[in-house]
Amino acid sequence: MLKPTLSAFLTMLILMTAGLPFALAFTGSYEETLTMSERRIAKFKVTAKGEFVKTEFLEADRRELFLRNETGTYRVIPEERTAMKLPDSNDPKNLLDDLDDYGAFLQRNQAKRIGSETLGEKETDIYEFLDPMTRSNSKAWVWKEKMLPIKIEVQSQEGVLTIELSNIDIASAIDDAVFALPEDYQVMTAEDASAPAL
């Protein structure tokens, strides 16, 4: 039985930020850390190849992942050898949908360059814009060399949501097998999980 280990709020944040995008042309991997008003709420690794996405939690107490492949989107619990097929979403947008062409995203959202900063060893330009999904004031620190956001801050009612990307790899080849469900896992639908036990 799949345990309800993720709160609805955290699940929404992950789906909004970690990928599981439906039309993403980005290929690569990165680690992503989410903090809310400086309190870390999640860290995970995202591997993407076109529309295929794997999001793995990097928290010791949270052994689960999300997969999207040609058959659908799944929440996977390795300890239980189970996977739940998630309903298709009609709204594909998330905060990192535009990684493959972030410059176009900034232009579309009339982002204003407000400065520059070195984060780690990466030279970044800082942009302010109104996030199109949350309609909130946002900032992005964009790595000049690759034109990728490595830090995003979004104002919300709960506080400042900060998304930080690290260990970015856009050079290595990614095999489709990375996105496959293990054959011996039990796959359920959301309807199966909510059905009363007999």
d(CA 31, CA 9): 20
d(CA 61, CA 33): 16
Q: What is the pLDDT of residue 107?
A: 94
Q: Bridge-partner residues for 129, per DSSP?
A: 138
Q: Please, how many CA atoms are within 13 Å of residue 52, restricted to the half-sphere of its CB?
A: 16
Q: What is the pLDDT of residue 133?
A: 78
Q: Bridge-partner residues for 67, per DSSP?
A: 54, 74
Q: Which residues of the chain have pLDDT under 50?
A: 1-9, 20-23, 91-92, 197-198
Q: Bridge-partner residues for 66, per DSSP?
A: 55, 75
Condensed to tens digits (0 to 9), the pLDDT of residues 114-170 reads 999 999 999 999 999 998 877 889 999 999 999 999 999 998 888 899 999 999 998
So where are the chain's domains?
Answer: 8-194
d(CA 45, CA 18): 9
Q: What is the pLDDT of residue 5?
A: 43
Please tell me the pTM assigned to this model: 0.79
Q: What is the pLDDT of residue 122?
A: 95
Q: What is the pLDDT of residue 135?
A: 84
- What CATH number does the domain located at 8-194 have? 2.50.20.10
Q: What is the pLDDT of residue 96?
A: 54
